[in-house]
Amino acid sequence: MSGKEIIRLGSLKHVENFQAHLQTLNLEIPYDSQIVIGAQSPLRAPLVRGPFKIGNRIAVHPMEGWDATRDGAPSENTFRRWKNFGRSGGKLVWGGEAAAVSHEGRANPNQLLISPRTEKKLAELRTGLRDEHILTTGSDDGLLVGLQLTHSGRYCRPNEHARPEPRILYHHPLLDRRLNLPSDYPLLTDSEIESIIEDFHRAALMASQLGFDFVDIKHCHGYLGHEFLSAHTRQGRYGGTFEGRTRFLREVVQGIRSLAPGLHIGVRLSAIDTVPFHRDPRQSGNGKSHIGVAESFDDLLPYRWGFGVNPQDPTGTDLSEPEKFLSLLEQLGILLVNITAGSPYYNPHIQRPALYPPSDGYLPPEDPLVGVARQLATTRELKRRFPNLLVVGSAYTYLQDFLPNVAQAAVREGWVDFVGLGRMVLSYPEFLWDASEGNNIQRKRVCRTFSDCTTAPRNGLPSGCYPLDDYYKDSDWGDKLKILKRG
Ligand SMILES: Cc1cc2nc3c(=O)[nH]c(=O)nc-3n(C[C@H](O)[C@H](O)[C@H](O)COP(=O)(O)O)c2cc1C
Ligand code: SF4
Which of the four pLDDT bands, split at 50, 70 and 90, describes residue 124? very high
The residue ranges of DSSP E strands in 245-312, in sequence order, are 264-272, 277-279, 292-294, 309-310
pLDDT at 287 over 90: no
Q: Cα–Cα distance between 152 and 170 in angstroms, integer?
A: 14
Identify the pLDDT of residue 487: 59
Which of the four pLDDT bands, split at 50, 70 and 90, describes residue 283? low
Q: Which long-range contacts (CB under 8 A, 24 or more apart) does 252-259 make?
A: 252/197, 252/200, 252/201, 252/204, 252/217, 253/217, 253/332, 253/334, 255/197, 255/198, 255/200, 255/201, 255/204, 256/200, 256/201, 256/204, 256/205, 256/215, 259/201, 259/204, 259/205
**283-301 burial string, b = 16+ CB within 10 Å, else e?**
eeeeeeebbbebbebeeee
Percent of the chain with pLDDT over 70: 97
313: CB partners within 8 A, 6+ apart: none
Which of the four pLDDT bands, split at 50, 70 and 90, describes residue 75? very high
Q: Cα–Cα distance between 348 and 361 in angstroms, integer?
A: 8
Q: What is the mean pLDDT of residues 225-235?
A: 98
- Residue 51's CB is within 10 A of a number of other CB atoms, namely 10
Beta carbons of 229 and 219 less than 8 angstroms apart: yes
- Residue 90's CB is within 10 A of a number of other CB atoms, namely 32
Q: Higher pLDDT residue, 270 or 288?
A: 270
Q: Report residue 412: phi and psi, to 5°.
A: -60, -40
Q: Please work out whether the CB of residue 453 comes within 6 Å of at least one atom of ligand 2.
A: yes
Q: How many residues does the chain have?
A: 487
DSSP string covering 353-369? --SS--TTS-B-SS-HH
Q: What is the mean pLDDT of residues 82-100?
A: 97
Per DSSP, the three-state class of 351 is: helix
Identify the pLDDT of residue 44: 98
Identify the pLDDT of residue 288: 47
Q: Cα–Cα distance between 125 and 129 in angstroms, integer?
A: 6
- 192 to each of 39, 94, 182, 249, how far by Cα in Å? 51, 28, 20, 15
Q: How remote is the CA of residue 296 from the centroid of ligand 2, in Å? A: 31
Shortest-distance atom of ligand 2 to CA 424: 7
Burial class (CB in 10 A: 0-12, 13-18, 19+), 325: buried
* Of the candidates 60, 66, 55, 57, the residue with the CA atom closest to the CA atom of residue 85: 60
Identify the pLDDT of residue 463: 83
Pocket of ligand 1 (CB under 6 A): 61-64, 97-98, 148, 220-221, 268, 340, 352, 394-398, 421-424, 453-454
pTM of the model: 0.97
414: CB partners within 8 A, 6+ apart: 383
For 6-20, how does the pLDDT look when each residue is reduced to its tens digit (9 = 90+)? 999 999 999 999 999
Q: What is the mean pLDDT of residues 439-447?
A: 96
Q: Please work out whether the CB of residue 427 comes within 6 Å of at least one atom of ligand 2.
A: yes
Identify the pLDDT of residue 486: 66
Shortest-distance atom of ligand 1 to CA 424: 26
* Of the candidates 182, 107, 161, 60, the residue with the CA atom closest to the CA atom of residue 344: 107
Q: What is the mean pLDDT of residues 103-124?
A: 98
Beta carbons of 349 and 364 less than 8 angstroms apart: yes
17: CB partners within 8 A, 6+ apart: none
* Protein residue with its CA nearest to atom 6 in ligand 2: 453
Q: Cα–Cα distance between 482 and 182 in angstroms, integer?
A: 36
Q: Higher pLDDT residue, 120 or 2?
A: 120
Q: How remote is the CA of residue 333 from the centroid of ligand 2, in Å? A: 36
Which range (127-131, 411-415, 453-457) has the least confidence?
453-457
pLDDT at 286 over 70: no
Identify the pLDDT of residue 3: 45
* Protein residue with its CA nearest to atom 3 in ligand 2: 447
Q: How remote is the CA of residue 208 from the centroid of ligand 2, in Å? A: 32
Q: Cα–Cα distance between 212 and 199 in angstroms, integer?
A: 17
Which of the four pLDDT bands, split at 50, 70 and 90, describes residue 95? very high
Identify the pLDDT of residue 2: 47
47: which strand partners? 54
pLDDT at 196 over 70: yes
